[in-house]
Chains A and B, each alone.
Chain A
Amino acid sequence: MNVLNFMQHFFSDGSHWHGYDGIPQRVWEHVQYTAGALAIAAAIGLPIGLVTGHTGRGGNTLAFVSSGARALPTFGLLVLMFVWLGLGIVPVMIPLVVLAIPPILITTYEAIRTVDPSPVDAARGMGMSEPKILFQVEVPAALPLILSGLRSAAIQIVSTATIAAYVALGGVGRYILDGLYQRNYEKVAGGAALTAILALFVLVLFWAVGRVAVSPGVRRRGAA
């Protein structure tokens, strides 16, 4: 038996498609964890990245903090949070958010900092206020890079959110963990496949967002 056969058995078993341990429920949980962690990480990482990128100050501190955060082992952090806070959604969210902030923060900072300075100079010279310069000149130009930061953060969260199962929560990690305990490798393979599918879905989603949100003048393709 190979992995593909495992997967086929897992997905063709009708009992896997309903109930509290069914695929729709677990996927929905996974999507909720991912969206929640990404939203919190973006709420922290985007503003700091935008402001530091615009002013050009604090870049070194950012790099230092981010590489520190990247060095933290996510699983270790989960265990620590579990010991401190017990079961629940919070000890899962904290490691996921810590994981997702560095790519968002650093990419946003770099994206804004490396925007062509001459439109910014022109905007300032025409009497645009600093917030308007940031949101009407710098962000539209930096948007493809900012989105790529969010995208890599989202993909890391999707694959890492499987650890929620360790602290008795749901998500597609449930199948991987339970399958390992039960020596049910169909389940393990199915959970892994679902994680990969979700990651692909994230890619498609960000591609679509990019098509809609990024100006054709910045994308430099398909403009009228």
Chain B
Amino acid sequence: MIAIEEVSKRYADGTVAVDRLSLQIPNHSITVLVGPSGCGKTTTLRMINRMVEPSSGTIRVNGEDILRRPVNALRRSMGYVIQNAGLFQHRTILDNIATVPRLLGWSKQRARARAAELMERVGLDPGMARRYPYQLSGGQQQRVGVARALASDPPILLMDEPFSAVDPVVRRGLQEELLRIQSELGKAIVFVTHDMDEAITIGDRIAVMRTGGKLAQFAAPDEILSSPADPFVEEFLGADRGIRGLSFLSTRELELDRSQVFPVDSDWKRIAGRDEASSSVLVTDAGGKPLGWADLATWSGDVEALEPYGQSFEVGRDSLRVALDRAVLAPNGQAVAVDGAGQVLGVAGQETIAAAIRLARQRRAADAPQDASKLKAAP
């Protein structure tokens, strides 16, 4: 647990970078510091490993004032990841990762064995061990940066805009990788970013900071999205915070319609003769996987002639945001719901999803105060 208590940073020219900030950063979770440039988020991070000394206030790690510890020992006990990775160009990937174990006095052999283990953990091909940083892509370099920070298995990981310099696709991959690693290792991670989407994706808790180094709001992502503390936070969240908030609502209780779903080998004449059905039905293969939409009035029975269904969503794993997105994109406004094996469970129209949203909102409003834990679904 990192306890930041009434910490300020004032520079000699009178600039206040951080103003009486107090934050409790719990173990085994990702705390994101987010805000516009100049809000003091990086300064705050750098005060935790004493790259910047606070002007006043105290920072405690597990109860101990960080000023009591020798500065280099303190830093070696925390992983540190920066933008652009900051790899040592003259060292191989393996030796880059082995840096902190070597500083801690491990033998070269043991440090390298540990480094090889970490390459695997962060998803790097072992064949890269003997390469040099310039031979790697930006995303790979950043993976090495994360592996290097984890090398001595520190309980705390400080990450300063680590994924800002890579393209959006690679960034998403790195974010997923970080969440996966975190689910395995359970570190106390402090993560600085200026990107609210990134904060929502990876944060268990988000500290929104405003210019002048003040804390605007400190809460779980869904709470920040559903009830921003003030107009600054609301504006920083952007125009679509309502839609983004749906990321935290589960599709588990969505009412799915099965009456329009038929396997391809059905008796189509009898189905066409029904009077209650809409003319559009979802056709699945014999194994229950979706094939496409058919208009019963015109469809000849040819699988090739089916209307594409777009993408499906997985009930329970995907959020209402994903379900709504699929419904909006589908040609007939109906999203296809599948289970983990890809078999169709039913379809949900935009109205059904809207009803589910209203229901989830009401339920949340009823038990909001005590429920701080969040349902984390992929965005």
Q: Is A125 an interface residue (CB 8 A)?
A: yes
Contact A141 B158 (CB under 8 A): no
Interface SS majority for chain A: helix
Contact B132 A127 (CB under 8 A): no
CB-based nearest B residue for A130: B72
Residues of B within 8 A of A224 (CB): 130-131
Q: Is B206 an interface residue (CB 8 A)?
A: no
Q: Tell me how far the C-beta of B338 lies from the nearest C-beta in chain A, rounded to whole angstroms.
A: 44
Contact A220 B134 (CB under 8 A): yes
Q: Is A128 an interface residue (CB 8 A)?
A: yes
Contact A129 B72 (CB under 8 A): yes
Contact B86 A118 (CB under 8 A): yes
Q: Is B357 an interface residue (CB 8 A)?
A: no
Q: Tell me how far the C-beta of A84 lies from the nearest C-beta in chain B, rounded to whole angstroms.
A: 46
Q: Is A126 an interface residue (CB 8 A)?
A: yes
Residues of B within 8 A of A116 (CB): 89
Q: Tell me how far the C-beta of B94 lies from the nearest C-beta in chain A, rounded to whole angstroms.
A: 12
Contact B80 A125 (CB under 8 A): yes
Contact A218 B90 (CB under 8 A): yes
Residues of A within 8 A of B72 (CB): 127-129
Residue among B46, B80, B84, B85 making CB contact with A126, cutoff 8 Å: B80
Classify chain B's interface size. 35 or more
Residue among A120, A214, A217 making CB contact with B91, cutoff 8 Å: A217
Residue among B87, B131, B149 making CB contact with A119, cutoff 8 Å: B87
Q: Is A24 an interface residue (CB 8 A)?
A: no
| Interfacial residues of chain B within 141-165, with CB under 8 A of chain A in the complex | 145, 148-149, 158
Q: Is B62 an interface residue (CB 8 A)?
A: no
CA distance A216 to B80 in the complex (A): 26
Q: Is B260 an interface residue (CB 8 A)?
A: no
Contact A127 B74 (CB under 8 A): yes
Residue among B73, B80, B90 making CB contact with A215, cutoff 8 Å: B90
Residues of B within 8 A of A122 (CB): 80, 82, 85-87, 145, 148
- How many inter-chain residue pairs (CB < 8 Å) link A and B? 85
| Interfacial residues of chain A within 101-159, with CB under 8 A of chain B in the complex | 116, 118-129, 132, 136-137, 140-141
CA distance A214 to B149 in the complex (A): 26
CA distance A137 to B99 in the complex (A): 11
Residue among A126, A141, A217, A218 making CB contact with B92, cutoff 8 Å: A217
Q: Is B243 an interface residue (CB 8 A)?
A: no
Contact A119 B86 (CB under 8 A): yes
Residues of A within 8 A of B85 (CB): 118, 122
Classify chain A's interface size. 20 to 34
CB-based nearest A residue for B49: A125
Q: Is B100 an interface residue (CB 8 A)?
A: yes
* Most central of B89, B135, B158 by chain A CB within 10 Å: B89
CB-based nearest A residue for B50: A125
CA distance A26 to B345 in the complex (A): 95
Q: Is B373 an interface residue (CB 8 A)?
A: no
Q: Mark A147-185, 1 if CB is under 8 A from B, else 0.
A: 000000000000000000000000000000000000000
Q: Is A223 an interface residue (CB 8 A)?
A: yes
Q: Is B241 an interface residue (CB 8 A)?
A: no
CA distance A141 to B158 in the complex (A): 25
Q: Tell me how far the C-beta of A48 lies from the nearest C-beta in chain B, rounded to whole angstroms.
A: 23
Contact A124 B84 (CB under 8 A): no
Q: Is B133 an interface residue (CB 8 A)?
A: yes
Q: Tell me how far the C-beta of B125 lies from the nearest C-beta in chain A, rounded to whole angstroms.
A: 15
CA distance A132 to B104 in the complex (A): 13
Q: Is B51 an interface residue (CB 8 A)?
A: yes
Residues of B within 8 A of A123 (CB): 86, 88, 99
Q: Known contacts being A122-B80, A217-B134, is A141 close to B51, with CB within 8 Å?
A: no
Residues of A within 8 A of B375 (CB): none
| Interfacial residues of chain B within 50-100, with CB under 8 A of chain A in the complex | 51, 71-77, 80, 82-92, 99-100
Q: Is B329 an interface residue (CB 8 A)?
A: no
Q: Mark A53-85, 1 if CB is under 8 A from B, else 0.
A: 000000000000000000000000000000000
Residues of A within 8 A of B149 (CB): 126
Contact A141 B80 (CB under 8 A): no
Contact A127 B88 (CB under 8 A): no
* Most central of B75, B86, B133 by chain A CB within 10 Å: B86
Contact A125 B158 (CB under 8 A): yes
Residues of A within 8 A of B100 (CB): 126-127
Contact B90 A223 (CB under 8 A): no
Q: Tell me how far the C-beta of A224 lies from the nearest C-beta in chain B, rounded to whole angstroms.
A: 5
Residues of B within 8 A of A218 (CB): 89-90
Lowest 7 CB-CB distances: which A-B pairs, in order?
A217-B132, A122-B86, A127-B75, A215-B90, A125-B80, A127-B76, A118-B86
Further pairs besides A121-B51, A122-B145: 9, Cβ < 8 Å: A118-B83, A118-B85, A119-B87, A121-B86, A126-B99, A127-B71, A127-B103, A217-B133, A224-B130
Give 23 A-B contacts (CB < 8 Å), ordered by A residue.
A118-B84, A119-B88, A119-B89, A122-B86, A125-B51, A126-B75, A126-B76, A126-B148, A127-B71, A127-B72, A127-B75, A127-B100, A128-B99, A129-B72, A137-B88, A141-B88, A214-B90, A215-B90, A215-B91, A217-B89, A218-B89, A220-B134, A223-B135
Residues of A in contact with B (beta carbons under 8 Å apart): 116, 118-129, 132, 136-137, 140-141, 214-218, 220, 223-224
